[in-house]
Amino acid sequence: MDKSKKALLSFAAISLFTVAVVIFLLFFGPISAEYKKFKEYKHLLKDREMFVDLSLTDGRAYAIISREGRSDHGDLLVIFEEESGWKRIYENDFADLKPWKITIADIDGDGMQEILTAVRKSTHYDSREGNRLFIFNFKNDLLVKKWTGSQIAGEWKQFYAGDFLPMKGDELIFVQRLPDGRERLVIYYWFAFGFIMLAESDAYDNISDLQMTDNNLIKLEYGNNETLHLTVKDGRIVAYSE
Ligand SMILES: [Ca+2]
pLDDT in tens, the chain (242 residues): 677 788 888 888 888 887 777 666 666 555 678 889 999 999 999 999 999 999 999 999 999 999 999 999 999 999 999 999 999 999 999 999 999 999 999 999 999 999 999 999 887 777 788 999 999 999 999 999 999 877 799 999 999 999 999 999 999 999 999 999 999 999 999 999 899 999 999 999 999 999 998 799 999 999 999 999 999 999 999 999 87
Q: Give 134 Cα–ligand 1 centroid separation in angstroms.
A: 14
Of 123, 151, 179, which residue sits at a domain end?
151
Of 151, 173, 201, which residue sits at a domain end?
151
d(CA 3, CA 57): 56
At 88 the pLDDT is 97
At 79 the pLDDT is 98
| 158 lies in the same domain as 94 | no
| 47 lies in the same domain as 140 | yes
Residue type (1 letter), 46: K
Q: Give 107 Cα–ligand 1 centroid separation in angstroms.
A: 5
In this structure, is residue 99 part of a structural domain?
yes
| 187 lies in the same domain as 229 | yes
Q: Give 48 Cα–ligand 1 centroid separation in angstroms.
A: 34
At 51 the pLDDT is 97
Give how many domains the chain has, as a whole number. Answer: 2
- Residues of the domain holding 116: 30-151
| 134 lies in the same domain as 192 | no
In this structure, is residue 212 part of a structural domain?
yes
| 228 lies in the same domain as 170 | yes
Q: DSSP label at 143?
A: E
pTM for the model? 0.85
In this structure, is residue 136 part of a structural domain?
yes
CA 237, 109, 85, 80: dihedral to nearest 10 degrees? -70
In this structure, is residue 140 part of a structural domain?
yes
| 132 lies in the same domain as 46 | yes
| Nearby residues of 150 by Cβ (< 8 Å), 6 or more positions away | 123, 124, 125, 126, 132
Q: Give 153 Cα–ligand 1 centroid separation in angstroms.
A: 21
Q: Give 2 Cα–ligand 1 centroid separation in angstroms.
A: 71
Q: Give 51 Cα–ligand 1 centroid separation in angstroms.
A: 25
| 62 lies in the same domain as 160 | no
In this structure, is residue 20 part of a structural domain?
no
| 138 lies in the same domain as 204 | no
Of 133, 151, 169, which residue sits at a domain end?
151
Which contacts qualify for 129-134: CB closer than 8 Å, 24 or more apart? 129/98, 130/155, 131/155, 131/156, 131/157, 133/159, 133/172, 134/97, 134/99
Nearest one of 186, 231, 181 to 206, comparing CA atoms: 181
In this structure, is residue 219 part of a structural domain?
yes
| 142 lies in the same domain as 46 | yes
| 137 lies in the same domain as 53 | yes
| 131 lies in the same domain as 188 | no
Q: Give 211 Cα–ligand 1 centroid separation in angstroms.
A: 21
d(CA 57, CA 14): 41
In this structure, is residue 169 part of a structural domain?
yes
At 89 the pLDDT is 97
Nearest one of 200, 181, 177, 197 to 189, comparing CA atoms: 197
| 127 lies in the same domain as 170 | no
In this structure, is residue 194 part of a structural domain?
yes
Q: Give 59 Cα–ligand 1 centroid separation in angstroms.
A: 17
Residues with CB under 5 A from ligand 1 (ion): 106, 108, 110, 112
Q: Give 159 Cα–ligand 1 centroid separation in angstroms.
A: 18
Q: Give 110 Cα–ligand 1 centroid separation in angstroms.
A: 5
d(CA 207, CA 185): 9
